[in-house]
Amino acid sequence: QVQLVESGGGSVQAGGSLRLSCSASAYTYSRYCVGWFRQAPGKEREGVAVIDSDGFPSYADSVKDRFTISQDIRKRTLFLDLQMNSLKPEDTAMYYCAAEGVGGYCSLEAYDYNDWGQGTQVTVSS
């Protein structure tokens, strides 16, 4: 099982920026989907941004033009980042990175991903 470790959450005022990072060592998949999901209290987990092993991203409409996802593998370690700009109070949530070692289309649906990080809190104040 892949172990994903997140970092970079925190508190920021509206309009500010944060960068989330996630890594997984001994990552052996050559084709994969990885991404970021979030869950606010009382709400379902939702897809924020995903990216495939070729570097093609998909974004939720709510974060397009504000968030940028990137991924890389170096020495069998997967690195996944999410640059979040122009943050809004509605972006407040627990953010999780996720991975799935399959090829093809990468969906924004949480049920398509089997490996999850422990989560990192993002809080945006108005």
- The SS3 of residue 48 is strand
pLDDT of residue 5: 95
| Beta partners for residue 69, in sequence order | 82
| pLDDT higher than 80, residue 103 | no
- The SS3 of residue 65 is coil
**What is the band of 101 on the pLDDT scale with cuts at 50, 70, 90?**
confident
pLDDT of residue 110: 95
| 3-state secondary structure labels for all residues of 8-40 | CCEEEECCCCEEEEEEECCCCCCCCEEEEEEEC
Q: What is the mean pLDDT of residues 75-97?
A: 97
The residue behind tokens 């990192």 is: 120
pLDDT of residue 24: 93
**What is the band of 30 on the pLDDT scale with cuts at 50, 70, 90?**
confident
**What is the band of 44 on the pLDDT scale with cuts at 50, 70, 90?**
very high
* Mean of pLDDT over the chain: 95
99 membership: H or E segment, kind and range: strand 93-100
Of 65-74, 83-92, 94-103, 117-126, the one with minimum mean pLDDT is 94-103
